[in-house]
Structure 1
Amino acid sequence: MSEVIRKSIVILNKIKPSEEKVEWSVTEISRELNIPIQTVHRILSCLSEYGFVYRDNQNKRYKLGLSLMELGLSIRDNLSVRNTALPIMEQLSSDTKESVYLTVQEGCDGIFIDCIDSPHLLKIVEPIGMRRPLCVAASKKVILAFLKPVSQNQIIEELVTKGYIPNVEELKEQLTIIKEQGFAISYGETTEGTVSIAAPIFSWEDEVVGSISVAGPEGRFVGTRLNEIIKLTTKSACEISEELGWFTRV
């Protein structure tokens, strides 16, 4: 990779907004990344020209520009699974009164690409774009469980190498159960005190392309209501899959 491109990516990742900091000076970026100040200034000037970063002319500080959001939204909006899933997600959230998430795979990770928030004051709010390994939580594990064996094994090997899987046999047992029952359920794997129920979404080629999940506080996912949410989630996943042509696979 070109060194300039690498440094540009490093800088963009560094100035991502957080609760602590939204804007950065050239000096701060240079010091934090140990990149010469002249290099930082030159890269930021180029990125600013194309709208990838924005420079406040009053305080001379930089933040991410709207061109990045435009690119990200164009990818999200062009995902056929999202366009198909959105009305079904809205109905599922209306039926369950819980937050509903759409997750797709990218490499060894699962990424939330859309969400319908619960109407409850006490609810799960995870950010769109949040990325987690496919071995963590129901919405990701259900995708991993339904991948073809070769792809599944390759991903597991890579996640083991990265230190994300302490016990491979235990994970494989979980994936077997998930595949047999057709859905995944996790307790507190992403946020403590919460429950997530997820079901796989398939393409017309019978390939898993994502998952739909319902998440909320553990106290609301008990008894007959838990069973009802499982039924509604798996039903919604089938509806999305059929809209994508999965129903015509036989």
Structure 2
Amino acid sequence: MAVNRSGLQTVSRALAVLRCFQGDAELGVTEIARAQNLPMSTTHRLLQALLESEFVEQDEQTGRYRLGVALAEYGQLSYRRHLVYLAEPHIEQLAAETGTAVSLATRHGSDAINLVFTRWREAHGHDLSEVRFPLHASAIGKALLAWSSVTREELEALPYHQGTDRTPSDADSLTAELEAARTAGYTINDEQTEWGYRIIGVPVFDPAGNARFALGIRGTTQLMIPERIPFLADLARVTATTIATTLFRDAARTH
């Protein structure tokens, strides 16, 4: 059967338009067209199609666009399908025990995506930029890399321009951090994505022994002083083991 390349291009462009909203901003047609290097007319047609399917919404007063309710529906379906909600009681307990904010993340391309949060929002409110983090710059991302099968080529392709001056700047420095993490049993983000905060990352292993998820605990540098890091990491590893047992036991029952 012949492939409709025009149709594939349209789908690809529509998905690219959706990715413009990853920062949860409201955007105008001009901004989106410029970001995707598309003609205004093409961008407008794509937005109209996304609007009709409720993947985006349009503010009637400003004419600007934002993510729509259909994505929330699909997000909830994915959330339930992957049984991530089963981890919530365990991360809430860890947050209460440590006084930190806790999240559960998975890998998506060169980023780590937070799927479950506890009190992460206390500091950031509705800033959805805190959902996605570069793998090389975040504790959760480095945990996903350190305990998974990744190639040198994958490490070299990461966007090292993102981060602070404490962030690994190339594949060699990242490899050194990952090796140190495997020895310690946890990763650390010491103000590598945000000044004044430290984050510990530990793997949540699937039955094959790979880091299917990563558990992150986040606190201020005053709370997470260096002397407390090993203790907090031990608590996080215990919770990660409990989450893995819960998720993959129940996943096996549903298949």
Taking structure 2 as the reference length, the TM-score comes to 0.77
Shift of 1:132: 2.5
- Counterpart secondary structure, 1:8: helix
- Counterpart secondary structure, 2:169: coil
Match of 1:102 among 101, 104, 110: 104
Deviation string for 1:151-170 (max 9, x for gaps)? Answer: 2434213227x767634333
**Does residue 134 of structure 1 match 2:166?**
no
Aligned to 1:42: 45
Does the CA-based 8 Å contact 1:112-1:128 persist in structure 2? Answer: no
Unmatched 5+ stretches in structure 2: 163-167, 250-255
Count of residues in Structure 1 that have an aligned counterpart in Structure 2: 237
Shift of 1:86: 1.4
Does the CA-based 8 Å contact 1:204-1:244 persist in structure 2? Answer: no
Aligned AA for 1:101? S
Superposition pairs for residues 230-249 of structure 1, below 5 Å? Answer: 230-245=233-248
Aligned to 2:157: 158
Does the CA-based 8 Å contact 1:194-1:217 persist in structure 2? Answer: yes
Does the CA-based 8 Å contact 2:140-2:214 persist in structure 1? Answer: yes
Aligned AA for 1:228? F
Match of 2:68 among 44, 57, 65: 65
Superposition pairs for residues 79-94 of structure 1, below 5 Å? Answer: 79-80=82-83, 82-94=84-96
Question: How far apart in 1 are the matches of 2:32 and 2:154?
Answer: 34
**Does residue 172 of structure 1 match 2:175?**
yes
Aligned to 2:9: 3
Taking structure 1 as the reference length, the TM-score comes to 0.79
- Counterpart secondary structure, 1:46: helix
Tell me the C-alpha RMSD between the 2 structures: 3.1
Shift of 1:93: 0.6
Shift of 1:105: 1.2
Aligned to 2:225: 222
Deviation string for 1:20-70 (max 9, x for gaps)? Answer: x6253x566557766444433333322222112224456554433211222
Shift of 1:223: 5.8
Does the CA-based 8 Å contact 1:110-1:133 persist in structure 2? Answer: yes
Question: How far apart in 2 are the matches of 1:191 and 1:240?
Answer: 27
Question: How far apart in 2 are the matches of 1:28 and 1:171?
Answer: 34
Shift of 1:144: 0.8
Does the CA-based 8 Å contact 2:103-2:117 persist in structure 1? Answer: yes
Does the CA-based 8 Å contact 2:26-2:64 persist in structure 1? Answer: no
Superposition pairs for residues 205-220 of structure 1, below 5 Å? Answer: 205-220=208-223
Identity value in percent: 25
Superposition pairs for residues 8-47 of structure 1, below 5 Å? Answer: 8-14=14-20, 22=26, 24=28, 26=29, 35-47=38-50
- Counterpart secondary structure, 2:136: coil
Question: How far apart in 1 are the matches of 2:178 and 2:22?
Answer: 34
- Counterpart secondary structure, 2:208: coil
Mean Cα deviation higher: 64-73 or 27-36: 27-36
Does the CA-based 8 Å contact 1:112-1:127 persist in structure 2? Answer: no
Unmatched 5+ stretches in structure 1: none
Closer/same/farther in 2, CA of residues 61 and 211 from structure 1, 3 Å limit: closer
Aligned to 1:145: 146
Aligned to 2:55: 52
